[in-house]
Homo-oligomer: A and B are copies of this chain.
């Protein structure tokens, strides 16, 4: 905070769900959220509603207070919802003696909080935004041992879900290129229901969905799979699972499978993807710019003769749909897309304690997609792969 000239940090949210900034500083889930406030050199305070005191105490902030301690109910009665809230923040900032620069974090509807921030400015508070990288992003970028264990635990369960799903596919018979259960043709929708059931059994959920895309639809990395489509043999299946546990921590893994015999083209794509992934995992170490790993991945793909996203940047718009068309990875923690970003344009540096994905992929509209993704932990010169799952193409 000192280096950034920050005197007071406020983290605000209506819930910790969907608000990784508040979830991080609170260190627990709080259904109705609250206000975290910390002045430089002082202990932080967490202010929550009466009914969330129990939840808040399970977290990392020792000093838990309630809105009622600041007479919030009376403030709303007297001044209305918005002005009452401004008065609440004012009395909170006054109680800790804030005089310097204040930054406000947390996922909130921008319009309403801007109105609050502008009111505080008019009262003389020096509210300022923080650009890339915010202090909370910075803190969240590396994970402590407890966070790593939470993420690892989601990964162990996610791998079990994938294995049980494969078991379901293996128990089917193939007839005329389609998978059949004892009763009927297996569809993507049926597989997804099974995946959701397996996630539930393992106390996970996938609020952002799951990718289980087959054949040509797998060529679009953001096609989640067409529910009515039958599961076909001989075509690539991109299975990307990114579940969240109740504590808010995520995991991210992708495998590509072919039931029966893959085409030569798919084998060739798979070989390149796996080679790029292993080379990337080998070259990751503390201190390396993330964009360097991404650039090397592009180099390797291009040596294999595949197009990469670098061509798009040079103005080749067709290249945005063919070849290696996304970034190599992203951080995983209280979200499934955070720093570090292993992208061409990102400025992040790989550092000890980061947990992130390594997920090269190749896409060809007429063939389909191939992507292999692990979530890993970086410690100094080596990585720990948190993804206990084999990478066979055929099942």
Given A18-B18, A73-B313, A201-B193, answer yes or no on A111-B115 (Cβ-Cβ < 8 Å).
Answer: no
Contact of A112 (CB < 8 Å), options: B51, B117, B132, B197? B132
Contacts of A246 in B (CB 8 A): 209
Q: What range describes how many residues of A lie at the interface?
A: 35 or more
Contacts of A321 in B (CB 8 A): 50
| Shortest distance between the CB of A217 and any CB in chain B (Å) | 10
Contact of A345 (CB < 8 Å), options: B76, B110, B317? B76
Contacts of A129 in B (CB 8 A): 110-118
Q: Are A77 and B345 in contact (CB under 8 A)?
A: yes
Contacts of A345 in B (CB 8 A): 73, 76-77, 81
Cβ-based interface call for A109 (8 A): yes
Contact of A222 (CB < 8 Å), options: B12, B54, B68, B201? B54
Q: List the B residue with the shortest CB-CB distance to A16.
A: B208
Per-residue interface assignment for chain A, residues 65 to 96, with 1 indicating a CB less than 8 Å from any chain B CB and 0 otherwise = 00010000110110011100000000000000
Q: How far is the CA of A15 from the CA of B196 in the complex (A)?
A: 21
Judged by DSSP, the binding face of A is mixed
Interface residues of A in 215-257 (CB under 8 A from B): 220-223, 244, 246
Cβ-based interface call for A130 (8 A): yes
Cβ-based interface call for A153 (8 A): no
Chain copies in complex: 2
Cβ-based interface call for A17 (8 A): yes
Interface residues of A in 331-382 (CB under 8 A from B): 337, 345-347
Cβ-based interface call for A131 (8 A): yes
Given A51-B222, A54-B220, A132-B82, answer yes or no on A205-B205 (Cβ-Cβ < 8 Å).
Answer: yes
- Chain A residues in the interface with B (C-beta under 8 A): 12, 14-15, 17-19, 21, 29, 31-32, 50-52, 54-55, 68, 73-74, 76-77, 80-82, 103-118, 127-132, 134, 136, 193, 196-197, 199-201, 203, 205-209, 220-223, 244, 246, 312-313, 317, 320-321, 325-326, 337, 345-347
Between-chain CB contacts (< 8 Å), 14 pairs: A29-B209, A51-B325, A73-B312, A103-B111, A104-B110, A105-B111, A108-B110, A112-B130, A113-B129, A115-B128, A115-B131, A116-B129, A196-B200, A197-B197
> Known pairs A31-B222, A73-B313, A77-B313. 10 more at Cβ < 8 A?
A51-B221, A51-B325, A77-B345, A104-B110, A106-B109, A109-B136, A112-B131, A115-B129, A117-B129, A196-B201
